[in-house]
Amino acid sequence: MYRLTIHELHERLKSKEVTSQEVVKLLLERIQKVDPQLKAYLTVARQEAMEQAREADNRIATGEMTSLTGIPLAIKDNMCTQGIKTTCASKILENFIPPYDATVVKQLKEKGGIILGKTNMDEFAMGSSTENSRFITTRNPWNLDAIPGGSSGGSAAAVAADACIAALGSDTGGSIRQPAACCGVVGMKPTYGRISRYGLVAFGSSLDQIGPITKDVEDCAILLNAIAGPDPLDSTSIDLPIPDYRKALVKDIKGWVLGIPREFFVEGMDPEVEERVTAAIRTLEGLGAKVKEISLPHTGYAVATYYVICTAEASSNLARYDGVKYGFRAPGTKELMAMYLETRCQGFGQEVKRRIMLGTYVLSSGYYDAYYRKAAQVRTLIKADFEKAFQECDVIVTPTAPTPAFRLGEKVQDPLQMYLSDIFTISVNLAGVPAISIPCGFSTGGLPIGLQIIGRSCEEERIIQTAYAFEQHTDHHTKRPELS
């Protein structure tokens, strides 16, 4: 039962073939069995999940059923959950229990969704491998010696290992799509502002976006329907009508133009990634789509631009963690300044401290114009590249990541190599456009490879339709790792 998708489980619940309580019980047993080796969850909300399941069964009995009623979901641990710990995988928030739900969590609960627990992540979403968590190291369910991707590695691993039906992640520079590619599941970063960020613990406020991680494209559309829309509590949310994304579940892409950016097929990319992505493009071509080479000329500046902007925003956002208002406070200090320094020194991990220092530097007097202002100007050029490219094509198709999942510990001592793991996803966040990663094959070592489909701003339907058409003519998404 835990292997089912949202839409498959919905039909079983609707026909009363199974109850939500039975499903939740099975999934809690599944977590208990596989999570000691996988380490996808930081918190499992057993009692709360069973209470929500009882409520869901009552709703189903009275006919008050939505597509998410009784569906067990996992939430990345940087989204506030009332009464359930939200740590951002950081010591500085180790025992923080929010007094309110993030808007997306509230929306899921209102629709009858069940929160199984909170998933592991890179501390404050800063990382590409989920090795920066201060508590545990999540492993890839396809190979327990490999990384699950990051920073939403816990959510992607839990979905791939059938330790939840679907999950939410957040994406600042690829943190949904890259782990989705590493774990062989579907992950979408919607248009910036399409989904409320209220209650999402901020990393880079102009880049962060919440999105679904699911077992197939149809589930992605269902989850997107549930959480998309304007929110008066988030001034950056877009006040536009939300379409029914399930209407985009159409197999036909005949006549569509697929833009293939030459800058994304670069030297140093794993040859197996290039081979599987090229084969996927041929599959889409076989469905009637036309392929056109395009250029996104400022792609080469994306990583540097991103790491100036995101670290500057992180420096500002993380200033609130000072040991005064909430969270961890270093013991034994007698003076205020010493307490600030010790709290932040002990509370934050190495990668978070590295990014705070970088961000503080690029915002400092005398360096702001040389770094931050220049990065903001280059970001405008990157956004313009996409706008120009979309005059020539309907969607853009690229690899999601330059390699399959690498081995745990392989890049921990080399931050620059780690940062390059997001080379194909970062520019999408800088431009604010939507993108999805779907499985398109496996390496000879049995690790999943992801295909990224990028769309125009607020045109999630197009990338869903392209992804769905591909999925309906392939079987990569049906394969699951075997965990003993």
* Active site amino acids: 76, 151, 175
Nearest in space to 149 (alpha carbons), one of 166, 112, 113, 174: 174
DSSP letter at 369 equals I
CA 77-468-255 angle, 5° bins: 135
Residues ≥6 apart with Cβ < 8 Å to 337: none
114 three-state secondary structure: strand
209: left (phi > 0), else alpha (psi -120 to 50), else beta? beta
Q: What is the 3-state secondary structure (H, E, C) of 220-256?
A: HHHHHHHHECCCCCCCCCCCCCCCCHHHHCCCCCCCC
Nearest to 151 by CA among 398, 355, 377, 399: 355
Query: Please, are residues 166 and 119 in contact by the beta-carbon 8 Å criterion?
Result: no
Please name which of 87, 82, 52, 94 lies closest in space to residue 69, comparing C-alpha atoms: 52
Alpha carbons 342 and 382: distance in angstroms, whole number: 40
Please give the Cα distance from 283 to 285 (Å, whole number). 5
Say which amino acid occupies 112: G
Residue 241 CB: number of other CB atoms within 10 A? Answer: 6
CB 55 within 8 A of CB 71: no
